[in-house]
Structure 1
Amino acid sequence: MAAEPAVGFVATGLATLWSAPFNDDVVSQLLLGERVLVEEVRPDGWARVVAVEQPAARLDPRGYPGWLPATQLAYGSSPEPSHVVDAVTTALRDRPGGQVVLPGVVLGTRLASAGDPVDGCQPVHVPGQDRPLWAPPGSVAPLPASATAVDVLALARRLRAAAYLWGGMSGQGIDCSGLVHLAWRRFGVCLPRDASDQAHATEPVPPGAEQPGDLHFFARPGRPVHHVGFVADQGHLLHACYQQRHVVEEPMPPERAATLVATHRVVSGPR
């Protein structure tokens, strides 16, 4: 009988998930504290993992599979998250106003409180760290109990002008489905990572009934969904655009309208 995979946690601000060791095929990115199943650690330092917080039904029913350097993982227990990073990016310090220990902690990262704030700084537990680290004032917020699509759309708008990056999941670089996944993740809703899976996990909206914050899905004839974006105000589309190489809000382009196949709504999701 095969051994059960070990449970690990991402111990760096943002970890890149690759399709195979030593190649340049990025499939996704993992945020600090994300839980993974560690299926293999090779002698050359690469770990094969399944990212359970990024559903990917077509690839693995447990989550998104891929490879990352084993040095980016920590083991042991992890407290239940209570806070989420609300800044596009921040750095965690050894004490309030102290030295940076962990830079590049990004929007949507969920962290567990390690006590009461001091001078507006929040202490948090971090995988791989023996002592709590401190988030600067205004950089984290309590996890919300609920959110509306309008809340999520407003959050996604904060990432306008972020660079387009295939597999990216932060303000440092993001792709179309990463934008949708991350914006909902900020509010505690776990949508799938890829656009085609997001289409299956959301509810169709009748033509003409779409509202800001709904999702437009795009596909070529006879092909799976390949692109997703937010319904914005006045018929605009907010999306991470490969052609323009950044996140943009714009009137629906004719070439997009020609491949628009469905509009869906996020009804609920696991917290």
Structure 2
Amino acid sequence: MTGRSIALDRRVNAIRGDLADVALAGRYFAPHYSCPQALSLRFPRTAIRSKADPESTAVSELLHGELFQAIDVAGGWAWGYSAHDHYVGYVPVSLLGVPLQPTHVVTVPAALVFAEANIKSAEQARLPMGSRVAGEVEGNFLKTGSGFIHLRHLSAMDAVESDPVSIAERLTGAPYLWGGRSSDGVDCSGLVQLCLSLCGVAAPRDTDQQMAALGEEIEPGGELRRGDIIFFPGHVGFMADGEKLIHANAHWMQVTTEPLADVVKRLEDGHALPVLARRRISL
């Protein structure tokens, strides 16, 4: 490669001082390049961290069955990116395994994995909403390699929903967690990404990325409706109707529905523009 490297967003481009994704070889100079290796998370969920350190900041989260493209493995950590949104970071390599070919996805706040096809059998695991699983249907259950999951907690991978707000409403009360993308803990953009994904819409991870990529701007003065996405400085949520917003927020530390006017009022003192954009997605 000749010439200067271009500036790339390191949140979604795997670049380190010593190494980069081979896919960037024609655009970014690095001492070494490596081909990603696809692996699946075999644990219910794990944080994607900014450093190879369990105490470092969580930048996102990987859910059961999701793919992680590992570019480097060292010291018990895999460095790479999540396949669904290309978000870069570190995950414990011990939690990753052979790529899963998922057949179903968890669409309720949590699905239990039972030892047998019997709700009275021992609980083996608890998988959060958005988890991918693979198996064969046996009666009212999906038989997986680690146990049985009731079909009422799942949808087929090729089935999509049409109302992201109804999905968000299922998560009412879920705790706010920086970097979270699951019913066990979720942040504002993680909630939007998760709900849209179950409706077949691939959304970026962070609020600024989502504001740049999602939907069409609602005309000034236009009435809001269910499913509209409202962007604030460093925050995002769905309109539950023409007046109320459902969002994962650090004010209430959970997923809540409240008047949009209340959210705007909290932001007015610190921001000249408390609302940055109003977008509508056609599903």
TM-score range, shorter chain: 0.7 to 0.9
Q: Distance in 2 between matches of 1:138 and 1:147?
A: 15
One-letter identity of the residue aligned with 2:230: H
Q: How many angstroms does 1:146 deviate by?
A: 4.3
Match of 1:230 in 2: 238
Contact between 2:204 and 2:213, CA under 8 Å: does it hold in 1?
A: yes
Does residue 109 of structure 2 align to residue 88 of structure 1? Answer: yes
Contact between 2:224 and 2:243, CA under 8 Å: does it hold in 1?
A: no
- Write the deviation string for residues 176-217 of structure 1: whole angstroms up to 9, x where unpaired: 001111111223322111111111111212131432111000
Q: How many angstroms does 1:249 deviate by?
A: 0.5
One-letter identity of the residue aligned with 1:7: A
Match of 2:42 in 1: 11
Out of 196, 200, 205, the residue aligned to residue 208 of structure 2 is 196
Does residue 127 of structure 2 align to residue 105 of structure 1? Answer: yes
- Write the deviation string for residues 29-82 of structure 1: whole angstroms up to 9, x where unpaired: 11111111101111x2111120121x2xxxxxxx1011111101002x432x33
- Write the deviation string for residues 217-236 of structure 1: whole angstroms up to 9, x where unpaired: 012xxxxxx11011122411
Higher relative contact order (CA 8 A, sep 6+): 1
- Write the deviation string for residues 145-191 of structure 1: whole angstroms up to 9, x where unpaired: 4443xx21011011111111111111221110011111112233221
Match of 2:153 in 1: 139
Match of 1:262 in 2: 277
Change (3 A) 1:5 1:144: closer
Q: How many angstroms does 1:135 deviate by?
A: 0.7
- The correspondence of residues 152-171 of structure 1 with structure 2, limited to 5 A, is 152-171=164-183
Percent identity, aligned pairs only? 30
SS in 1 for 2:94: helix
Q: Distance in 2 between matches of 1:19 and 1:74?
A: 21
Out of 74, 79, 83, the residue aligned to residue 97 of structure 2 is 74
Please tell me the root mean square deviation across aligned C-alpha atoms, in Å: 2.0
Change (3 A) 1:94 1:180: same
SS in 2 for 1:141: strand
Match of 2:16 in 1: none
Contact between 1:14 and 1:29, CA under 8 Å: does it hold in 2?
A: yes
SS in 2 for 1:167: coil
What is the count of residue pairs matched by the alignment? 240
For the pair shown, which has the larger CA radius of gyration, 1 or 2? 2
Q: How many angstroms does 1:142 deviate by?
A: 2.3
Does residue 28 of structure 2 align to residue 20 of structure 1? Answer: no
Match of 2:142 in 1: 122
Q: How many angstroms does 1:111 deviate by?
A: 2.6
Match of 1:29 in 2: 61
Contact between 2:105 and 2:157, CA under 8 Å: does it hold in 1?
A: yes
Match of 1:127 in 2: none
Q: Distance in 2 between matches of 1:13 and 1:132?
A: 12
Match of 1:60 in 2: none
Q: How many angstroms does 1:144 deviate by?
A: 5.3
Change (3 A) 1:227 1:68: same
Q: Distance in 1 between matches of 2:186 and 2:52?
A: 22
SS in 2 for 1:122: strand
With normalisation by structure 1, the TM-score equals 0.81
One-letter identity of the residue aligned with 1:251: P
Match of 1:210 in 2: 224
With normalisation by structure 2, the TM-score equals 0.78
Contact between 1:109 and 1:186, CA under 8 Å: does it hold in 2?
A: no
Contact between 2:36 and 2:71, CA under 8 Å: does it hold in 1?
A: yes
Change (3 A) 1:200 1:5: same
Match of 2:19 in 1: none
SS in 1 for 2:258: strand
Match of 2:20 in 1: none
Gaps of 5+ in 2: 1-31
Q: How many angstroms does 1:266 deviate by?
A: 2.5
Contact between 2:161 and 2:198, CA under 8 Å: does it hold in 1?
A: no
